[in-house]
Amino acid sequence: MRRVYFIWFAKKVAPYVLIELALFIGFLNLIGHNVFVSKVMQYAGQILANSSIDPMVWANFVLNTFLGTELIIQLAVLGSLAMMVLVFKNFITSLTQLALAREETKMVG
């Protein structure tokens, strides 16, 4: 019976998750080619060197870094965040449907 559940789950989830993961990887690839991650890490290290653990300082750093980038990078960051949300949403929804399907078959069987 587990095999049936696995096949059902794979057919239900795989197409959506694969498309969303491909888009997510595309957005991350775009970010990776256009953002100097070493510079971002250097700036973050400077904040840590000043012993700043204040959330407002970090929020200001993230906001200024985000607003200081080009529009295409901002769109890629927002797109990658949206893809992460969609992947988790679809995965959790499918797991819930799987649990409900298991309960229904237990009642019938």
The pLDDT tens digits of the residues spanning 4-55 come to 777 877 787 778 778 888 888 888 888 888 888 788 788 878 877 776 777 8
Kindly give, in sequence order, each residue whose CB lies less than 8 Å from that of residue 96, ignoring residues fewer than 6 positions away.
none
Domain containing residue 71: 2-108
The model carries a pTM of 0.64
What's the number of domains the chain is made of?
Answer: 1
Candidates 74, 94, 76, 98; CA nearest to 86 is 94
